Amino acid sequence: MTEILSQDEIDALLNAISSGEVSEDEYSSVGEQKKVKIYDFKRPDKFSKDQIRTLQMMHETFARLATTGLSAQLRALVVVHVASVDQLTYEEFIRSIPNPTTLAVINMDPLRGSAILEIDPSISFTIIDRLFGGKGESSKVNRELSDIELSVMEGIIVRILGNLRESWSTVIDLRPRLGNIETNPQFAQVVPPNDMVVLITLETKVGEVEGMTNLCIPYITIEPIINKLSAQYWYSSIRKGEVDENRAVIQERLDQVKIPLISEVGSVDISLNDLMNLQLGDVIKLENTPIKSDLTVKVGDRSKFKATPGKVGNRLAIQIGDSIEDIPDELLGSTRSEQEY
């Protein structure tokens, strides 16, 4: 940060330069120095700033879903939000987490490799206490989970993975599966120590207990979809998903609409007096309608198809033929094929 001098300090500096006590070259050389950015070849950057930002937005959605899901399951106030998204080596990640801890190995199908979901012990034991009927108060327990406790945490993690799948749906149809749960970080070597990973750190609060939840994803796992991790692609996928969802809803509702289908044998004009005098057995001769002519099928009040009359068993039926007027396929579906009514 640039240091701001007071007026007295500026006057003293000018006096010192004027009297020759301080050389001008000492200060001019400092200002001319170029800023050098240190680059560690052991830690090459794999993710661009845009990709890191996209990952952060994706997992902010994940954090909101996890907040809602855990709050409902634990019957307690749960708050999850993204604290940071960083890239580092896998060895640095392993050294930064406590031992023992709750560490889930996640298969990232259809992507290759596995990811790591690490839940702080304070959060794990608070969740377990809450599910076992306790108040979910903070405890300073530092031990490995028992078999029963592991089973409880397995159910929690599986639910969290469902939220993870939903948050990634705009980029890929991710199907994360829980592999196994470890308590010692040294037993979870999913990639070589010097491989780069992206670490999503989530601040998690259950009741009054706070802790960190870490999601570690190796670069080799994300590499096949690295080009999709851009803000432009992410936003366009969201808009496309909204359009597809709205279209599906509209289509579903249209499928439930009932519309009359009328098979018209023919037509004739008669007087009202003749109509009132019709009796059982009377015959009405239709105008310009030969016996072998096709029937007209109306959808609503519009003539749409030609049809041939017939019988199926003891029931009258018609067989759909040529169309009289083209109708969009999305409205009629497969009605152009031969159907019986």
Q: What is the 3-state secondary structure (H, E, C) of the chain?
A: CCCCCCHHHHHHHHHHHHHCCCCHHHHHHHHHCCCCCCCCCCCCCCCCHHHHHHHHHHHHHHHHHHHHHHHHHHCCCEEEEEEEEEEEEHHHHHHHCCCCCEEEEEEEECCCCEEEEEECHHHHHHHHHHHCCCCCCCCCCCCCCCHHHHHHHHHHHHHHHHHHHHHCCCCCCCEEEEEEEECCHHHCCCCCCCCEEEEEEEEEEECCEEEEEEEEEEHHHHHHHHHHCCHHHHHHHHHHHHHHHHHHHHHHHHHCCCCCEEEECCCCCCCHHHHHCCCCCCCCCCCCCCCCCCEEEEECCEEEEEEEEEEECCEEEEEEEEECCCCCHHHHCCCCCCCEC
Q: What is the mean pLDDT of residues 122-140?
A: 85
Instruction: Give the burial class of 220: count Cβ atoms within 10 A of its Cβ; 0-12 exposed, 13-18 middle, 19 or more buried.
Output: middle
pLDDT of residue 82: 93
Pick the CATH number of 258-332 from 3.65.10.10, 2.30.330.10, 2.130.10.30, 2.40.50.140: 2.30.330.10
Quickly count: other Cβ atoms within 10 Å of residue 59's Cβ: 23
Position 199 confidence tier, pLDDT thresholds 50, 70, 90: very high
pLDDT of residue 323: 82
Query: 157: closest CA among 76, 79, 66?
Result: 66
Query: Pairing relation of β-strands 209-218 and 114-119?
Result: antiparallel
Position 336 confidence tier, pLDDT thresholds 50, 70, 90: very low
**What's the mean per-residue pLDDT of the chain?**
80
> CA triplet 198, 200, 206: central angle to 5 degrees?
160
Query: 54: closest CA among 175, 177, 170, 203?
Result: 170
Residue ranges of the chain assigned to CATH 2.30.330.10: 258-332
Q: In what order do the strands lie in the sheet with 295-299?
A: 261-264, 295-299, 302-312, 315-323
> Residue 148 carries which side chain, given as an amino acid letter?
I
Position 341 confidence tier, pLDDT thresholds 50, 70, 90: very low
> How confident is the model over 248-273, as pLDDT tens digits?
777 777 777 788 888 877 777 888 88
pLDDT at 67 over 90: yes
Q: How far apart are CA 7 and CA 197, in angstroms?
A: 50
pLDDT of residue 23: 57
Per-residue tokens: 310: 């017939």
Residue written as token pair 């120095």: 33
Q: What is the mean pLDDT of residues 166-176?
A: 88
Q: How far apart are CA 289 and CA 266, in angstroms?
A: 6
Per-residue tokens: 265: 């044998």
Query: 198: closest CA among 302, 113, 75?
Result: 113
Q: Please name the fold of domain 49-244.
A: Chemotaxis protein chec (3.40.1550)
Residue written as token pair 């015959």: 283
Per-residue tokens: 183: 């308590």
Residue ranges of the chain assigned to CATH 3.40.1550.10: 49-244
Query: 50: closest CA among 228, 172, 221?
Result: 228
> How confident is the model over 309-318, as pLDDT tens digits?
888 888 888 8
Higher pLDDT among residues 139 and 334, named by residue: 139
Q: Tell me the range of 22-26, 102-106, 295-299 where mean pLDDT is highest.
A: 102-106
Q: Tell me the range of 37-41, 126-130, 302-306 where mean pLDDT is highest.
A: 126-130
Q: How far apart are CA 86 and CA 234, in angstroms?
A: 19
Q: How far apart are CA 41 and CA 23, in angstroms?
A: 39
